[in-house]
């Protein structure tokens, strides 16, 4: 009897080992990786560092001195608001199971992280870590839109718009691309947010700038940035934080994350040099604000492609970002007469589109990329990428226009002319950024 029992246990053990080697991936998917977890926790801190303080300082230095605190307040308040909204509802809409509507929106089972414990996994990391990593993306996306409306918008309007924009634009766009929605089923390639972050924010910024109207004196009497040094400091923080943004989107501490970090850095460096060179040729002097704007354009453009392309793709995308994004900054302001004050659409929107489309070319193995999806050609993938850009742009533009009109008709969208002259630091927050007495 003892031998028989031992024989059964031995056979069961052998069968388990055999099954493990036949289906290793199934075991690996359910196993927590401390290395992956540690990296994504670090990446989460880096991405939050992009908004607070990176983006806040970058934007704050670009406005007039009497509005610097209002811009910092907008970025900080949006970060707080988005965090709470993400916990209560938006995470569930973005990454929950929507059942019969799952192609379009998630369900409500993850509201308040319902049924998520410290033991719940998302791949090889705790779902709590995945939750907060994705939260930092939901924070920075509406914060990017802050650059479209400084110096003239009501603080209450910023809060209302950001809250409903997260629910009605960001959540569905995120679900379509990353949450198992219809664009994911089509095979759209957006590694870290070219569509989900930059197209949504860029298009919404442009529409909101149109509805809000330009600053007083635009375009003739617009002052230069009051503190370029602050802008450079913010840009440096954004550059560092972007490693978490892109390399962290691998959701693993592996070679893919390493390559994403490499191409992110190369694209940013190339775009910076190209932007500065163009200014040098056109105006005789390269500006410090120009070179760091090129940095952000390069970072935004490589974002959707960072997990799919190699160094060759990074260089080409960086060159394209430096040339095309700079052209759009001038065209939007001088030809279209739209006061997208800090060039959110030209830098982030156009940059996100550039990277989203070029990934269909440079993800190919012959250019050093990881290869296109099986059975997909460059033309096929380019078509899918265009569909992704257009549909998300339409969603962002239409919802933003509706929200802006509703807010304008209720609490009001724009401050009075007197408040704009005084500056929002005093009129909206009762403080001054600088005591010059």
What are the tens digits of pLDDT across the range 77-92? 999 999 999 999 999 9
Provide the pLDDT for residue 1: 44
Higher confidence at residue 30 or residue 152?
152
Please state the rounded mean pLDDT for residues 352-368: 97
Higher confidence at residue 9 or residue 76?
76
- DSSP collapsed to 3 states, the chain: CHHHHHHHHHHHHHHHHHHHHHCHHHHHHCCCCHHHHHHHHHHHHHHHHHHHHHHHHHHHCCCCHHHHHHHHHHHHHHHHHHHHHHHHHHHHHHHCCCHHHCCCCCCCCCHHHCCCCCCCEECCEEHHHHHHHHHHHHHHHHHHHHHHCCCCECHHHHHHHHHHHHHHHHHHHHHHHHCCCHHHHHCCCCCCCHHHHHHHHHHHHHHHHHHHCCCCCCCCCCCCCCCHHHHHHHHHHHHHHHHHHHHHHHCCCCHHHHHHHHHHHHHHHHHHHHHHHHHHHHHCCCCHHHHHHHHHHHHHHHHHHCCCCCHHHHHHHHHHHHHHHHHHHHHHHHHCCCCCCCCHHHHHHHHHHHHHHHHHHHCCHHHCCCCCCCCCCHHHHHHHHHHHHHHHHHHHHHHHHHHHHHHHHCCCCECCHHHHHHCHHHHHHCCCCCCCC
Provide the pLDDT for residue 3: 41
Judge whether residue 258 has pLDDT over 80: yes
pLDDT digits (tens, 9 = 90+) for 175-211: 999 999 999 999 999 999 999 999 999 999 999 999 9
Judge whether residue 5 has pLDDT over 60: no
Provide the pLDDT for residue 437: 52
Rounded to the nearest integer, the mean pLDDT of the chain is: 93
Please state the rounded mean pLDDT for residues 224-244: 97
Provide the pLDDT for residue 230: 98
Judge whether residue 18 has pLDDT over 50: no
Provide the pLDDT for residue 21: 43
Phi, psi of 125 (to 5 degrees): -125, 155
**What share of the chain in percent tops pLDDT 90?**
89
Judge whether residue 24 has pLDDT over 60: no
Q: How far is CA 332 from CA 197, 209, 299, 341, in A?
A: 20, 11, 21, 10
pLDDT digits (tens, 9 = 90+) for 275-308: 999 999 999 999 999 999 999 999 999 999 999 9
What global pTM score does this model have? 0.91
pLDDT digits (tens, 9 = 90+) for 90-132: 999 999 999 999 999 999 999 999 989 999 999 999 999 999 9
The CATH superfamily label for domain 33-229+251-429 reads Ammonium transporter AmtB like domains (1.10.3430.10)
H or E element at residue 156: helix 155-165
């Amino acid at each position: 009897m003892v031998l028989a029992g031992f024989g059964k246990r031995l056979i069961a053990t052998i069968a388990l080992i055999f099954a493990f080697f036949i289906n290793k991936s199934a075991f690996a998917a359910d196993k927590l990786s401390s290395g992956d977890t540690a990296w994504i926790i670090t990446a989460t801190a880096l991405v939050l560092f992009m908004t607070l303080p990176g983006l806040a300082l970058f934007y704050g230095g670009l406005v007039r001195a009497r509005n610097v605190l209002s811009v910092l307040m907008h970025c900080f308040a949006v970060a707080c608001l988005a965090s709470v909204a993400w916990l209560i509802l938006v995470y569930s809409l973005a990454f929950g199971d929507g059942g019969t509507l799952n192609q379009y929106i998630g369900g409500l089972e993850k509201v308040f992280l319902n049924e998520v414990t410290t033991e719940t996994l998302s791949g090889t990391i705790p779902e709590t870590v995945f939750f907060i990593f994705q939260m930092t993306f939901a924070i920075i996306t509406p914060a990017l839109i802050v650059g479209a409306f400084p110096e003239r918008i009501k603080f209450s309007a910023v809060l209302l718009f950001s809250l409903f924009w997260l629910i009605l634009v960001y959540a569905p766009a995120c679900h379509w691309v990353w949450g198992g929605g219809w664009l994911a089923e089509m095979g759209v390639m957006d590694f870290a947010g070219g569509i989900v972050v930059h197209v949504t924010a860029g298009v919404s910024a442009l529409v909101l700038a149109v509805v809000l109207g330009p600053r007083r004196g635009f375009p003739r009497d617009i002052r230069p940035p009051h503190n370029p040094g602050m802008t450079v400091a913010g840009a440096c923080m954004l550059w560092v934080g972007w490693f978490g943004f892109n390399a962290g989107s691998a959701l693993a501490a592996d070679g893919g994350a390493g390559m994403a970090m490499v191409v992110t850095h190369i694209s940013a460096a190339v775009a910076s040099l190209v932007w500065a060179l163009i200014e040098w040729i056109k105006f005789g002097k390269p500006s410090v604000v120009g070179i760091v704007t090129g940095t952000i354009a390069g970072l935004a453009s490589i974002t959707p492609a960072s997990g799919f392309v190699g160094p060759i793709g990074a260089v080409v995308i960086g060159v394209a970002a430096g040339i095309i994004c700079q052209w759009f900054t001038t065209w939007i302001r001088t030809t279209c007469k739209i006061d997208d004050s800090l060039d959110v659409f030209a830098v982030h929107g156009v940059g996100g589109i550039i990277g989203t489309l070029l990934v269909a070319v440079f993800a190919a193995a012959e250019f050093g990329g990881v290869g296109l999806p099986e059975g997909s050609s460059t033309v096929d993938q380019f078509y899918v990428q265009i569909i992704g850009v257009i549909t998300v742009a339409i969603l962002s533009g239409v919802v933003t226009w509706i929200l802006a009109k509703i807010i304008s008709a209720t609490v009001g969208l724009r401050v009075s002319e007197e408040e704009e002259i005084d500056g929002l630091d005093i009129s909206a927050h009762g403080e001054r950024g600088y005591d010059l007495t």
